[in-house]
Amino acid sequence: MKEKELVFMDHDGGIDDILSLLLVLTMEDKELIGINVTPADCFLEPAMESTYKMLQLFGREDIPIGRSDYHGVNAFPNEWRARPEVINALPMLINLPKSPNPYEYPTAVELLIEQLTKAERKVTILMTGPCSNLVHALQKAPEIQAKIGKVVWMGGAFRTGGNVHAFQHDGTAEWNVYWDPSSAKALFEFDLPLFCIPLDVTNLVPVNKEFLSKLAYQSKYQVSNLAGQIWAMTIDTIPSYHYTYFMWDILATSYLAIPQEFMMEGSRAKVAVRPPNAGQTYLDWEGNHLEFGVKVNKYAFYEYILKQFQRDF
């Protein structure tokens, strides 16, 4: 039998981050060796709780969780950070035991170093939030770089506009980069096999009612039922364009399983760290090499999600 691909996930507790964790847990040929939670698009405690509850549903409480203490220079709006708490109150989750005290967990940097150090083969790092933990871990323990097979990051906007609308900003940045631009700059400067799934390609996959309807028709499967309830929480952000909820992290997570459905472009890029474009990811000949998604076969993508979610816990 083929050995499973080792995956370490670093997420920031948003609604689609939790759905992405659900998706990773359904992937039969991946082995999740750790999960870090960053308090970026979430408040820490509720997001640790939903992470632990997802693990309980799959009987995988053995997977270690790390707690990130970083706070980016550009905080996410509190209205967004508060949403994920609703997940913990859903009927399938509310009565599950709460996570142990999050302050007894290892820090995200400690856990990442520990799990990479003891991994017997290379590890894929999946990041669906800011990249601060990975960058700090690499700075503290440079030897772990040899254990990284590839880094897949939902982050950036290369040939399209950003999604940050803030004072002192020209709108060119994507939020996961903008939260901590200096870390993103450092990430791009490491010589890593980096695969970004930026807004260029996530813009093609909004959460839409047609997809949610298909998911609902298969809600006899527990995973589909729960996912449908979580996704319903995002629908009130439609139709105003700027606030459309996309399948950002879900798309990046799918890249682990169906890379053949993506068109990637190889280029060199840098990250801006000062106003008016802090957090902008831009193509630059003097930057390091990376690959970023430009297109996806979205029918194959939606079908893949529907198929993965046809199961019980």
Distance (Å, whole) CA 19 – CA 13: 10
Q: Is 128 in the site for Ca ion (CB under 5 A)?
A: yes
Q: Helix, strand, coil: what percent of the chain each, to 5?
A: 40, 20, 40
Q: Is 279 in the site for ligand AGV (CB under 6 A)?
A: no
Residue 297 among the catalytic residues: no
From the CA atom positions of the chain, what is the Rg in Å?
18
Q: Is 156 in the site for Ca ion (CB under 5 A)?
A: no
**What part of residues 114-173 is at the interface with ligand AGV (CB under 6 A)?**
128-129, 154, 163
Residue 200 among the catalytic residues: no
Q: Is 49 in the site for Ca ion (CB under 5 A)?
A: no
Contact status, residue 99 vs residue 47, Cβ threshold 8 Å: no
Q: Is 10 in the site for Ca ion (CB under 5 A)?
A: no
Task: Identify the active-site residue in 80, 170, 203, 297.
Answer: 80
Task: Identify the active-site residue in 16, 26, 38, 41.
Answer: 41
Residue 10 among the catalytic residues: no
Q: Which two tokens stand for residue 166?
A: 């803030």
Q: Quick one: 147 or 178, whose CB is closer to Ca ion?
A: 178
Task: Identify the active-site residue in 38, 74, 88, 128.
Answer: 128
List C-alpha distances in Å: 240 to 167, 235, 244, 277, 298: 20, 11, 6, 24, 22
Contact status, residue 132 vs residue 107, Cβ threshold 8 Å: no
Distance (Å, whole) CA 46 – CA 174: 24
Span interacting with Ca ion, options 5-13, 159-167, 203-211, 304-312, rule CB under 5 A: 5-13
CB of 166 to ligand AGV, least distance (A): 12
Answer for which of 98, 145, 243, 300 binds ligand AGV (CB under 6 A) is 243
Q: Is 17 in the site for ligand AGV (CB under 6 A)?
A: yes
Beta bridge partners of 267: 290
Count CB atoms within 10 A of the CB of residue 3: 9
Q: Which two tokens stand for residue 118?
A: 């003891």
Contact status, residue 281 vs residue 221, Cβ threshold 8 Å: no
- Mask for 77-116, x = binds Ca ion (CB under 5 A): ----------------------------------------
Q: Which residues are catalytic?
A: 12, 17, 41, 80, 128, 176, 248-249
Please report, as ranges, the residues that interact with ligand AGV according to CB under 6 A. Answer: 14, 16-17, 41, 80, 128-129, 154, 163, 174-176, 237, 243, 245, 248-249
